[in-house]
Amino acid sequence: MMSWKHLVLYIKGFSLQNKHFFFLIFGSCRYVAVYYSILYFRYRAGTVTDEMLSVPKMPFLIAGVLQALAAAAGMAATANLSGPSTTVLSQTFLVWQIFFSIIFLRRRYSVNQILGCTLVALGVVVSVASGSGAAHSLKEAGVFWILLMVLSYLFQGADTVLKEVIFIDSQKRLKGASLDLFIVNSYGSAFQAICIALLLPFLSKLWGIPFNQLGSYLKDGAACFLNIGTMTKGCEGAPLLPLLFVIANIGYNIALLRLLKISSAVVSSLASTVSVPIAVFLFTLPLPYLGVASSLPNGFMGGTIILVLGMLVYSWAPQGPNGSHTDSVIPSPPPT
């Protein structure tokens, strides 16, 4: 989930000759290979059963299509938007999640939950985009790219809520047993890769790459990723940094899907949102390959305080008339 977002952030940070399209295709393939390998070993160990593998595949197909559309739209838009602008627009992801969970899960949110989500989103915007000219950048970007970015978050929001529906429905089909998350990851990533492959002619045109030159472009992208050959200018840090990113990104997505499984799509989104100012702070440290450390945005501390306050407000469970708390905002984990 949201893997394309972290991929774009990586590409923006380390350039790698702006091989955005290569990383989109590479990202799809790596998920298929890694997730199916893990699924195979879990099946051999008996953790994944034949009954789990027999669940309907149509929801996974829809999830894969949504992931592919989100990745394609998001990476195209991000290439034409500034970092602060992307941060501001990314807060629509939480809005879409709440919207889809209300529609498809019939979920109702209390006033403190809505207020908490609003404060979290506001805190991220203030802590990251303050003093960076985000508003001016949005005006300069053009309506098309802004709408395309918002559309990509709509696809992501629908995808995460759909995965929550899959987990809920599977418990009924499996008579209370919990569907292994690597089944969701594996089938979803496979259908995403297929969808990306079918969209290659359109996507190559979107990136300004003639379709008959796609093979050489991918070859150059692989050479840049591995930092081999003569066309490696701008590929500093490869292959170590890309491989470290791949490992961290896969672990991040597994952890986030696990959180979605035991809580909800909105809770997993809030947890992911909190990581944004943490990442901003880490980039102010003298880390290898980053060059001169960045300075904190003007409103970083204020925005972080707003974000933490939003998390506390969201998690607050009001007491009922008898002094007991109402239903927990975050449900208890299902059996695994």
Are 138 and 85 in contact by the 8 Å Cβ rule? The answer is yes
Q: State how far the Cα of 324 lies from the Cα of 327, in Å rounded to an integer.
A: 9
Q: Is-contact 73 4, C-beta < 8 A?
A: no
Is the pLDDT score of 334 beyond 60?
no
What would the two tokens of residue 125 be?
A: 């915007």
> What is the rounded average pLDDT of the residues 269-281?
79
User: Is residue 6's pLDDT more than 60?
Assistant: no
Task: Output the pLDDT for position 185.
Answer: 94
Confidence (pLDDT) at 317: 64
User: Which amino acid is located at 335 in the chain?
Assistant: P
pLDDT at residue 293 in the model: 64
Q: Is the pLDDT of residue 335 over 50?
A: no
**What rounded mean pLDDT belongs to the chain?**
81
pLDDT at 139: 63
Q: Report helix angle 300-315 to 265-282, nearest 10.
A: 160
Query: What local confidence, expressed as pLDDT, does residue 200 receive?
Result: 87
Give the model's pLDDT for residue 183.
97
Between 310 and 5, residue with greater pLDDT: 310
pLDDT in tens, 137-151: 566 767 888 899 999
Residue 315 pLDDT > 90:
no
In this prediction, residue 246 carries a pLDDT of 79
Q: What is the pLDDT of residues 207-216, one digit of tens each?
A: 778 888 888 8
d(CA 192, CA 33): 13
Distance of CA 156 to the CA centre of its chain: 7
Burial 216-240 (b: 16+ CB within 10 A, else e): ebbebbebbbebeeeebeebebbee
User: Quick one: pLDDT at residue 332?
Assistant: 34
Instruction: State pLDDT tens for residues 36-71.
Output: 999 999 999 999 999 999 999 999 999 999 999 998
